[in-house]
Each structure stands twice: as structure tokens, then as C-alpha cells.
């Protein structure tokens, strides 16, 4: 009961500011422990390409930012450390092919590969500190509880790893864990292919409660202002009230609905997510009512990010569009053509954003 009381205290204290991370850093997949997908940068009205760095294969996750460095994982089996200002390589380390976003905690980078291995890398040198093995592919980015590492695996477990690389506990579900765990206080939330949204005590690894989503989840859950939002493979976005521990609403497109593999971003009482029906949707966070949709040129597996009054998102099109949309209206503010389709999400710096493509190019976009 003590852990649940701690969760309630943390939940009661939630307000919009804690979900927005410091504008200089983007340490985990969706920017913050709650996986909000919201940045606080002051971005220019029109984005220019500032630099592009080429890796040897696709970039399927978001880069991580800390200080003046950018960390990006590639399917070419390398984790790269780049200078944020110039885009020049500082170091790279060969691991295995990686889909998951890297994560930064202090002086350490956590990366994970499709073979099921989790790596702790020294951020300054690229030197391997430890390796932890799961029994399935990893697409989940890491999150942190103190110095402990939380990460999901296709071995149907959420793993809690100590700072020395040793297992503290694992939490089994009935199917692969696809998305990154989201955290409030001493409670983490995870969903996967068992179609269940789980609340788990971070100190013990024991389940506190759960909610039936009605469909498998590939997306990471987003937490904000007492609610969780998660997309499903059964074509819905589901809202869960964290106080009542029940579904608040569920949204499904009226026509030709398709799965939501993208993770949602939430700001200004608006939930924004992308679907494989080639649309970006904005929903009222309290009711689930559709506010607008924007038709893209391809499936939207990339998780949108909100900064100020703009939404930043790419799509899986042959014409390689990256979009900047108005948060309130869904109108297109800018369209940028990159070198290939985009399945990965954006990372937000102090005055710029970073996004990778399926040809393995990482772009820095800002003001020249």
C-alpha cells in the first residue's frame, strides 16, 4: 500500500510543467519519464537544414540529447555520438542492429538491440561498461527510476536492471513488450501484446492494478494530468483515468480505421497521434472527440512531438515528407522533403530538432 500511496501523491502533484523537459536535453524516447512527447524549445517558424549525418542503415528510433552531444542508434549496428552544433562524429561503438531509441542517464548511455541485449556505454568515450541479455528483440527505449534501468523486451517481460547491470526484477506479461515504460514516482506503466495496461510497483516489480485495453499495444503510453493515452493495433487510441483505474474513452476513426503504432503526444488538452491510415489525429484529451485530422502521404508510425503550438511528425512515404502542423487547427505550416521515409520520432534541442530517416540520415533542423 505504501507504493500505491506514493503513486497517488505523485499523481496529485502532476501539472503541465513537469511533463515538459528542460529545453536543452531529450534524454529518453519521448523526452521525459512520463513519455509526454512535449518539448519546451523556442523553435523558428520555418525550419532549415543545419546539418545531416549519414549512418550505414536505417534510424528507427529517436536520438537522445544531453548537453552538446547527440546519441543515435542505427540498424548498421553502431551507436554514434555526435557534436550537436556541427554534426561531427565524436565516437562510435559497434554493437548489433538497433531499432530502439538510446537513453541518457548521467554519464551513461543505455542502448538495446534486436538480439535482445542491453548495453551501458560510457557517454564520454563510447566504452562498454556492461551488457545485460534478455530473450527477445528489443524495440523499447529505456527509462530510469533513480539509477535503475527499465526496459521492455519481446521476451514478454519488463526488465528492471541495477546500475551494475544485474537484474533486480522482471515483470512478465502474456506477449511482447513493444513500447517504452512510462514512470510517475515509484510506479511504471507498461502495455504490450497481452492487450493489458499494467501499473507496476518499481520497488518490488509487483502489479498494482491493470486495465483491459481491448487490443494489443505497439505504442508507448503517454502520461499527463492524471490520465494515460495509448494506441492499439486494433485501431484505437485509449484514454485511462489513473485515479479510477478505468477507461475514460476510446477513439476509432469512422472510416477505414487502421492501427496506431505511433505514440501520442499531449499538450493544451490535445492528444496527437498518427495512424497507419495515413492520418495524424488530434483528439480532445478529456472526451476523445476528434478535433482535426491531417492526411499525409504515407503511414504514420513515427510518434509526433509537440513544441509550442506546432506538431512535428514524419511518415512512411516514398516522397519523404516531414510535416510541421498547427496544434490547434491541423493546418500544414511547413513541409520538408528529406532523403527517405521516416519511421522514427523527433528529439528536441534548445532551438532545433533532430530526426532520422530509413536511409540512415540524421538531420538537424533549425534556423540558419
Contact, 233 vs 213, CB < 8 A? no
Contact, 152 vs 181, CB < 8 A? yes
Which is nearest to 338 in space by CA: 145, 58, 73, 56?
A: 58
- Is the pLDDT at 127 greater than 80, yes or no? yes
Question: What cell was used for 234?
Answer: 486494433
According to the model, what pLDDT value does residue 24 have? 62
Comparing 100 with 6, which gets the higher pLDDT?
A: 100
pLDDT tens digits for range 111-121: 999 999 999 99
- Give the range among 20-24, 154-158, 237-241 with minimum mean pLDDT: 20-24
Q: How far are the Cα atoms of 224, 253, 257, 331, 356 from residue 296, in angstroms, in the given order?
A: 27, 15, 15, 12, 18
Q: What is the pTM of this model?
A: 0.93
What is the C-alpha radius of gyration for the chain, rounded to an integer number of angstroms?
A: 19
- Is the pLDDT at 280 greater than 50, yes or no? yes
Q: How confident is the model at residue 322 (pLDDT cuts 50, 70, 90)?
A: very high
Instruction: Kindly report the average pLDDT of the chain as a whole number.
Output: 94
pLDDT tens digits for range 175-196: 999 999 999 999 999 999 999 9
Length of the chain: 368
Q: How confident is the model at residue 225 (pLDDT cuts 50, 70, 90)?
A: confident
The stretch 34-63 carries a mean pLDDT of 96
According to the model, what pLDDT value does residue 129 have? 98
Could you list the residue range(s) of the whole structural domain that residue 48 is in?
2-366
Distance CA 273, CA 280 (A): 6
According to the model, what pLDDT value does residue 23 have? 45
Distance CA 27, CA 12 (A): 25
Contact, 340 vs 14, CB < 8 A? no
Domain count, the chain: 1
pLDDT tens digits for range 227-257: 999 999 999 999 999 999 999 999 999 999 9
CATH at 313: 2.130.10.10
b/e for 104-118, b at 16 or more Cβ within 10 A? bbeebbbbbbbebbb
Amino acid at each position: 500500500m505504501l507504493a500505491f500511496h506514493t503513486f497517488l501523491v505523485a499523481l496529485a502533484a502532476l501539472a503541465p510543467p513537469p511533463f515538459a523537459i528542460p529545453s536543452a536535453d531529450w534524454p529518453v524516447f519521448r523526452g521525459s519519464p512520463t513519455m509526454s512527447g512535449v518539448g519546451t524549445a523556442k523553435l523558428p517558424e520555418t525550419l532549415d537544414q543545419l546539418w545531416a549525418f549519414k549512418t550505414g542503415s536505417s534510424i528507427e528510433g529517436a536520438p537522445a540529447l544531453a548537453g552538446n552531444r547527440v546519441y543515435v542508434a542505427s540498424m548498421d549496428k553502431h551507436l554514434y555520438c555526435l557534436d550537436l552544433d556541427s554534426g561531427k562524429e565524436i565516437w562510435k561503438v559497434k554493437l548489433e542492429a538497433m531499432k530502439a531509441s538510446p537513453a541518457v542517464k548521467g554519464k551513461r548511455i543505455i542502448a538495446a538491440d534486436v538480439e535482445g541485449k542491453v548495453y551501458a556505454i560510457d557517454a564520454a568515450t563510447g566504452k562498454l561498461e556492461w551488457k545485460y541479455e534478455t530473450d527477445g528483440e528489443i524495440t523499447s527505449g529505456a527509462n530510469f527510476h533513480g539509477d535503475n534501468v527499465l526496459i521492455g523486451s519481446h521476451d514478454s517481460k519488463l526488465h528492471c536492471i541495477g546500475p551494475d547491470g544485474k537484474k533486480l526484477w522482471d515483470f512478465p506479461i502474456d506477449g511482447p513488450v513493444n513500447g517504452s515504460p512510462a514512470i510517475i514516482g515509484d510506479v511504471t506503466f507498461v502495455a504490450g501484446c497481452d492487450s493489458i495496461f499494467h501499473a507496476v510497483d518499481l520497488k518490488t516489480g509487483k502489479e498494482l492494478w491493470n486495465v483491459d485495453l481491448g487490443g494489443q499495444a505497439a505504442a508507448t503510453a503517454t502520461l499527463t494530468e492524471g490520465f494515460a493515452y495509448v494506441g492499439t493495433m486494433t485501431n484505437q487510441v485509449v484514454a485511462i483515468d489513473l485515479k479510477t483505474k478505468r477507461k475514460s474513452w476510446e477513439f476509432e476513426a469512422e472510416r477505414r480505421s487502421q492501427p496506431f503504432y505511433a505514440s501520442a503526444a499531449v499538450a493544451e488538452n490535445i492528444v496527437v497521434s498518427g495512424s497507419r491510415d495515413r492520418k495524424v489525429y488530434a483528439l480532445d484529451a478529456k472526451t476523445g472527440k476528434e478535433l482535426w485530422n491531417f492526411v499525409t502521404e504515407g503511414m504514420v508510425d513515427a510518434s509526433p512531438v509537440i513544441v509550442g503550438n506546432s506538431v512535428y511528425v514524419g511518415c512512411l512515404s516514398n516522397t519523404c515528407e516531414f510535416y510541421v502542423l498547427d496544434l490547434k487547427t491541423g493546418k500544414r505550416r511547413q513541409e520538408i522533403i528529406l532523403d527517405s521515409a521516416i519511421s522514427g520520432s523527433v528529439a528536441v534541442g534548445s532551438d532545433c530538432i533532430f530526426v532520422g530517416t530509413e536511409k540512415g540520415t540524421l538531420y538537424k533542423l533549425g534556423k540558419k
